[in-house]
A and B are shown apart, each in its own frame.
Chain A
Amino acid sequence: MEKPIIEIVETIDTARVYDELSDAKSGGICVFVGTVRDFTNNESVISLEFEAYKSMALKEMEKIVDQAAEKWSMNKVVIRHAVGLKKVQEPVVVIGVSTAHRDACFAACRYMIDTLKETVPIWKKEMFEDKSVWVSAHP
């Protein structure tokens, strides 16, 4: 596997990821792009605000790539998460992987986004018309 691209950035440019993952030995590229949705539980979301414990978040993202690399043969990997205020439809996370065959590609991409949501110290606050809520904070 080539050295993965693991970043926390202010703004995500989704157009870059194809070139970053394109690879002669790979027969497939899977990319998951997480974006801001306009409604949560029938309430209109204005924007999301993301905050990261950056040094630890980067370490946890590296661990996720290492774990995925033990399970699947990956050629190139991109994990890029945004911080700051994001409006509806804006991209907030990109997980991309290129592999020889598609089964590993889908599985590794799925594993990395699912694990990121569980372990990486990044928080989002949903901003509504009249309130704001830290997502998942309370049972």
Chain B
Amino acid sequence: MEVLLFGIAKDIVGKSEIRFSEADTLPGSVGDLKRRLIASYPEFGKLSSLAVAVNSEYATDAVFLTKNDEIAIIPPVSGG
């Protein structure tokens, strides 16, 4: 399972994606993924907001994740 990182999320982790291998316990839901990110990288907890997109759509914490989903961390957006 790959999780794409953008903006400050890329800076916090130090790379543009996080890879969970089959050997790891994969995060089961968006909420689970967020909790694990904040546990591993406390800087995520200090952001104004932390959203997750699944297959290019904003996803609530309850959304389940599967290894073939395209998952992305969406830190506070600032386009325009």
Chain A interface residues toward B at CB < 8 A: 34, 50-53, 55-57, 59, 81, 92-93, 113, 116-125, 134-139
Contact = CB atoms under 8 A, between A and B. Distances in A.
B8 A137 contact: yes
A117 B72 CA distance: 19
B77 A121 contact: yes
Given A51-B6, A53-B74, A121-B53, A136 B48 contact: yes
B38 to A, nearest CB: 15
A123 B48 contact: no
A137 B47 contact: yes
A117 B80 contact: yes
A138 B74 contact: no
A119 to B, nearest CB: 7
17 contacts: A34-B80, A51-B6, A56-B53, A59-B57, A81-B80, A116-B79, A117-B79, A117-B80, A119-B58, A122-B78, A124-B79, A134-B11, A134-B75, A137-B8, A137-B48, A137-B78, A139-B48
A122 B79 contact: yes
Contact of A134 (B4, B53, B78): B78
B44 to A, nearest CB: 11
Nearest to A124: B78
A139 B75 CA distance: 12
Given A56-B53, A59-B56, A137 B79 contact: no
B80 A113 contact: yes
Contact of B6 (A34, A117, A121): A121
A136 B4 CA distance: 20
A136 B74 CA distance: 12
A123 B7 contact: yes
Interface-central residue, B6, B7, B48, B80, by most chain A CB under 10 Å: B80
